[in-house]
Amino acid sequence: MIAHHPSDELLLGAAAGALDAGAAIVLGAHVEGCAHCRATLRQFEAVGGAMLESTEPVLMAPDALAKTLAAIDAPPPPVRPTAPPLPRPELPPGVTWPRSLAVCDVSRWHWMGPGMRWSRVTLPHAPDANVFLLRIGAGKALATHTHSGLELTHVMCGSFHDGRSRFGAGDFDAADGDVRHQPVLEAGGECICLATVQGRLVFDGAIARWIGARVGI
Amino acid sequence: MPTGDEWVELVRSVAVAGDRSAFAVLFKHFAPRVKAHLMRAGVDPELAEDLAQETMVNVWRKAASFDAARAQLSTWIFTIARNLRIDQLRRQRDANAAHEANEGADNVDLLAQVAHDAARPDEQLDAARREGAVREALRQLAPEQVQILRLAFYDEQSHARIASDLNVPLGTVKSRIRLAVGHLRRLLQGMEP
């Protein structure tokens, strides 16, 4: 049962095409598992349609239709063969990759502390987007941190409590620089989160800061 | 102006028969609106002209995949234009990188694709009701709120421009957008069966 959804502003941003690439990936992972948010996204796209319909038209170039028809007559761009699936690090049994990651490169699991691993997600169309996976063992706690920018998180499996609320599989969270939290994993299995940060995580402790800097999240 | 059903019929003629006069009717109505929409979203007029033409090329090529049960024509064309704009922004930013041009706007807009693919059949069939409710909600919103909602479809620079036009801080524009979205959602929830 999904308890935490993206805000209307984020979903509207997605419908408008105004999200940055990292946010679109993490939001996409939530939306593909959430009928509620798919319905909202469609409503907002319909708002876009209504906005388009009611926009005061402007003149097109005099030869616009002729040029468009010429472009239609040109051979369509070749359909490129589907690329073979990219290699993926292993996941716990029963956990599947969000389809929004399909074209992304996902690194192997790197050690970042006892019971904690992370993986870098690289977007071919936005290599500078800061997207990563965290994999934390049951009962462990991530160092207390805040964010220099907005942090978006999609829970792929497991659950944690960060002092504000409990987050389980399928849940979505947005935390900005006002939020200082320490996600603590619940018992009953490890937790994997897909996250993106606009800016950086800012950890409290010196060791955590060192790891954060090394990891580059 | 053609009615809703007639618009759908025009797209079908394009899909089935490659009907150029039907396409010309669609072009005459939608291309100038797509161009205007893009310009208001901060795209310069020349690029907006190109993207509007490219949108209509895509309308021609994808006509067979248009499903009136899924979305109204204007919503479908809005999403095509949006995806081309996202793709164009990425191409522009990656001009020096190894990114291949014409990756295909469909491939980059994963969010829309995922939302589309994951939809169960029963989610797809209520387009007419959904679009009707959205249009009714927009009619019930105060005109100022509709104007503010429109801003959400434009870029950050246009928010900043509007903030300075209205002589209010950028944060105020953002909070007004939030209020308008909240109001729209409450109206829509009130219409659910």
Q: Which domains does chain B have, with CATH numbers?
A: 1-119 (1.10.1740.10), 126-193 (1.10.10.10)
**Does any domain span residue A95?**
no
Q: To 10 degrees, the CA torsion angle through B70, B73, B76, B78?
A: -150
Q: Cα(A33)–Cα(A194) distance, rounded to whole angstroms?
A: 14
**Does any domain span residue A88?**
no
What are the structure tokens assigned to B167, written together?
């002589």
Nearest to B15 by CA among B55, B67, B75, B54: B67
**Which tens digits make up the pLDDT trace of A64-94?**
999 999 999 988 777 777 777 788 999 999 9
* B contact residues 161-190, partner A, Cβ 8 Å cutoff: 177-178, 181-182, 184-185, 188
Q: Cα(B56)–Cα(B63) distance, rounded to whole angstroms?
A: 10
Q: Cα(A132)–Cα(A193) distance, rounded to whole angstroms?
A: 8
**Does any domain span residue A40?**
yes
Q: How many domains does chain A have?
A: 1
Residue A183 has pLDDT above 90, yes or no: no
Which class for A75: exposed (0-12), middle (13-18), buried (19 or more C-beta within 10 A)? exposed
Q: Does A70 touch chain B (CB under 8 A)?
A: no
Domain of A145, CATH number, reads: 2.60.120.10
Residue B10 has pLDDT above 90, yes or no: yes
**Which tens digits make up the pLDDT trace of A192-217?**
999 998 866 677 666 666 666 666 66
Q: What range defines the domain where residue A31 resides?
A: 1-81+100-217
**Does any domain span residue A206?**
yes
Residue B54 has pLDDT above 60, yes or no: yes
Q: Does A214 touch chain B (CB under 8 A)?
A: no
pLDDT confidence tier of residue B102, bands split at 50, 70 and 90: very low
Residue A46 has pLDDT above 60, yes or no: yes
Mean pLDDT of A136-148: 82
CB contact under 8 A, A47 and B86: no
Q: Does B10 touch chain A (CB under 8 A)?
A: no
In chain A, DSSP finds a helix count (H) and a strand count (E) of 5, 12
Q: SS in 3 state form for A58-115?
A: CCCCCCHHHHHHHHHHCCCCCCCCCCCCCCCCCCCCCCCCCHHHCCCEECCCEEEECC
**Does any domain span residue A216?**
yes
- B/e letters for B161-171, b = 16+ CB within 10 Å, e = fewer, are ebbeeeeeeee
Q: Are A197 and A147 in contact (CB under 8 A)?
A: yes
CB contact under 8 A, B77 and A25: no
CB contact under 8 A, A99 and B36: no
* A contact residues 118-147, partner B, Cβ 8 Å cutoff: 124-127
Least confident range of A20-29, B6-15, B132-141, B149-158: B149-158
Q: Are A91 and A133 in contact (CB under 8 A)?
A: no
Q: Cα(A93)–Cα(A206) distance, rounded to whole angstroms?
A: 35
Query: Residue A166, Cβ neighbours under 10 Å: how many?
Result: 12
Report ipTM for this prediction: 0.86
Nearest to A211 by CA among A149, A136, A99: A136
pLDDT at A61: 97
Going by C-beta distance under 8 Å and a sequence separation of 6 or more, which residues neighbour residue B61?
Answer: A72, A76
Q: Cα(A77)–Cα(B104) distance, rounded to whole angstroms?
A: 9
**Does any domain span residue A211?**
yes
Residue A141 has pLDDT above 90, yes or no: no
Mean pLDDT of B113-131: 62
Residues of B in contact with A127 (CB under 8 A): 97
pLDDT at B113: 54
**Does any domain span residue A94?**
no
pLDDT confidence tier of residue A187, bands split at 50, 70 and 90: confident
Q: Cα(B39)–Cα(B44) distance, rounded to whole angstroms?
A: 6
Residue B98 has pLDDT above 50, yes or no: no
Nearest to B70 by CA among B152, B129, B137: B129
Task: Select the residue of A56, A67, A103 nearest B53 (Cβ to Cβ).
Answer: A67
**Does any domain span residue A65?**
yes
pLDDT at A193: 95
